[in-house]
Structures are given as C-alpha cells and as structure tokens.
Amino acid sequence: MRNSPRLTLDIAPLDLDMTLGCGQTFRWEREEDGSWTGILGECVVCLDNSEGPLTIQIRHGGERAGGMVLEYLRGGDDINAIQAVLSKDPVLSSGLARFIGLRIVKMPPWECIVSFVLATNSNIKRITRMINSIAEGYGENIAEGMYAFPSVEGLRNATIEDLSGRGLGYRATYLHALCQTVDESTISRMERMAYEDLRNELKKLPGIGDKVADCISLFGFGHLGSFPIDVWVEKALGRLYGVTGSYPVLRRFATERFGAFAGYAQEYLFLNERSLAPDGACAFS
DNA sequence: GCCCAGGAGTGTG
DNA sequence: CACACTCATGGG
C-alpha cells in the first residue's frame, strides 16, 4: 500500500506474535512478512517491529490510530517491573524470560464482551471465524474486505436464526439476549467500576459466568488483578502448585499468590501449559 | 466416529 | 456448597 502514513511508537519489550496471536484477542492477522494487520475502531493498521521500533502503517483511519495502538498494547505497562514482581514466585521466576514481550491487551469493552461470550467451549480458530462473520454481517465496511466490529445497536437487530447461521451454535441465544440487555450507557458505567463490582455486574449478563467475567475484566477493562481460569490454567495450577478445587477456590489462591498482576501471571501459565499439549496449538514453544 | 474446545445455565442432592 | 447434565458445532 503506497504512501500509507506511518507512525513509530516506543513500546518495548513487545512480541507481536505472542501478544496478538495467543488467544486473548481474535481479529489480528499475521502477514507473510511477520507484520500484523488489525482493526481498531474504524482504523485499519499494520504493525511491525521486526526492524526494532514499532512501526504503524495506517491503511485507513488517520493519525488517531497511533493513540489507539498505544492504548491497545498498553504502552504504559512497565513489563520489566511487572516481571520483577512476579519473579518473586519461585515457580514463575525461571520461565518468565520466555514471555518477555507478551503484553496483555486492552480491547474495546464491547468487542471484548462479545468475543469472550462467543469463546465459551470453543477453540481459537473457530472463535476467530465467528467474530469475523458477525463483523461482516453487522459491522461497518470501512475498507476493502475490512469490517469494523459491530456496535451494540448494530447487533441488536440480528435474529437468533441469522446468528446461528454464522456458526455460533447455542451461543447465538446468549449473544441475542446480551444485545437486548446491554446498551452503550451500560458499558460506559462499567468503565467507572472497581474490579469486584464490575465482575459482579458482568456476571448478571446472559452468557457471562466466572471465567468470562474475568476475561472481560482483564482484556476489556484493563483490570490486571483479574485471573481468568480456563481448562489450561486449571491444569497449570494443579501441576505446578498442587492446587485443585472449584473456581472460587482457585481464584482465591491466585489472587493471594499473584496480587495486582495476577492477569499477567495467568497469561504466562496459560501459554506455558497449552504449549505442553500433544497437538500444541502454540507456535512458540 | 471420537474427543475436545479460553463454559454457562439449570436442576438436584 | 458440590456435582451432573445439557447446550450446538467446528477442529484435530
């Protein structure tokens, strides 16, 4: 794309493959040259830091894309300081170096809510297909083949039948109910809430239980103390810490053990455990 | 064909 | 509180 405006941002350390490809966000696409193309609001950007600094090629949307990338990648997080805190845990300390450059993302809240409601009992490849399908069906066409994530209002008119036709399975019912329950003011009110209150509020919504509420708190609202527990993290806690039990039990353990940066600890444990799987869906073991 | 997937909702003991 | 069961469907 000739003459696309470029920006450079100082975000380091940053590993785009881990950060954008690990399953905390679902719409980024890795190009042949190792760059990553994605959609932020109504901007289309291509990120590349293979030469050193992070360059942002703005394919659509203008200069504001720079600030959106900075927020999305949580450029303000001091990763080294966070790892220094977590390294006091003897189990984590030896393996943290492997995950330098992994950054927790800060997705737009509504996109994050929908994404993780759809993510229940599914897999990353299918989640990606589901999300891209509803974007094509209900999102604004902002560039050739690129669709913005649909707004609450944009999705509200979708029938359960059409959502089912997009491969959502029984999640179509959840998403439909969710769109009738939530509006933009609900979201903006949630952005002002403390983590525990937000979590309780999210769990009142259809299709959101303990795990999804914690994913949304972490990846959509930026609460780094949140610790989502899926099957991989549950395995990791049992294998590495000898801890088993219900969600509340495991969550309490993690909160006391990992503190304010439990979300980062969770992502390290998640990626490490998943990379041990026989059919290793993880490309960076 | 089988088992699994970044689980939630509901009913029962 | 803990389980057990169901939900719909693509991926490996």
**Residue carrying the six token digits 């959101």:** A208
List of residues 6+ apart from A128 with CB closer than 8 A: A26, A27
Q: Which residues touch strand C (CB under 7 A)?
A: A 121-123, 125-126, 129, 164, 167, 169-170, 245-246, 248-249, 279, 281
Task: Write down which residue in A168, A191, A212 finishes a domain.
Answer: A212
Determine the pLDDT at residue A285: 35
Q: Which nucleotide is nearest to A171 (CA to C1')?
A: C8
Q: Are A68 and A125 found together in one domain? A: no
Within window 84-143 on A, which residues have Cβ closer than 7 Å to strand B? 116, 119-124, 127
Q: Is residue A283 part of a domain?
A: no
Confidence band (pLDDT; 50, 70, 90) for A284?
very low
Task: Write down which residue in A163, A179, A212 finishes a domain.
Answer: A212
Q: Are A65 and A133 found together in one domain? A: no
**How far apart are alpha carbons A212 and A118 in whole angstroms?**
10
Confidence band (pLDDT; 50, 70, 90) for A280?
very low
Arithmetic mean of pLDDT, A264-283: 79
Q: Which CATH number goes with the domain that contains A16? A: 3.30.310.40
Confidence band (pLDDT; 50, 70, 90) for A282?
very low
Q: Which nucleotide is nearest to A125 (CA to C1')?
A: C11
Q: Tens digit of pLDDT for each residue in A83-116?
A: 999 999 999 999 999 999 999 999 999 999 999 9
What is the DSSP secondary-structure string of A217-233? HHHTT--TT-----HHH
Q: Is residue A224 part of a domain?
A: no
Q: Are A117 and A61 found together in one domain? A: no
Confidence band (pLDDT; 50, 70, 90) for A283?
very low
Q: Is residue A27 part of a domain?
A: yes
Q: Is residue A147 part of a domain?
A: yes
Q: Is the pLDDT of residue A279 over 80?
A: no
**A174 CA, B10 C1': Å apart:** 15
**How far apart are alpha carbons A175 and A206 in whole angstroms?**
8
**A20 CA, C3 C1': Å apart:** 37
**How far apart are alpha carbons A216 and A194 in whole angstroms?**
13
Task: Write down which residue in A212, A228, A257 finishes a domain.
Answer: A212
The answer to whether some atom of strand B lies closer than 7 Å to the beta carbon of A232 is: yes
**A234 CA, B11 C1': Å apart:** 25
Number of structural domains found in chain A: 2
Q: Are A135 and A42 found together in one domain? A: no
Q: Is residue A36 part of a domain?
A: yes
Q: Tens digit of pLDDT for each residue in A236-245?
A: 999 999 999 9
Q: Is the pLDDT of residue A251 over 80?
A: yes
Q: Is residue A90 part of a domain?
A: no
Print burial letters for A11-23: b (CB count within 10 Å at least 16), e (below 16): beebbbebbbbbb
Q: Are A156 and A207 found together in one domain? A: yes
Q: Is the pLDDT of residue A281 over 60?
A: no
**Residue A16: domain span:** 6-76
Nucleotides of B under 7 A from a protein CB: 4-9
Q: Which two tokens stand for residue A40?
A: 């932020």
Q: Which CATH number goes with the domain that contains A175? A: 1.10.340.30
Q: Are A143 and A205 found together in one domain? A: yes
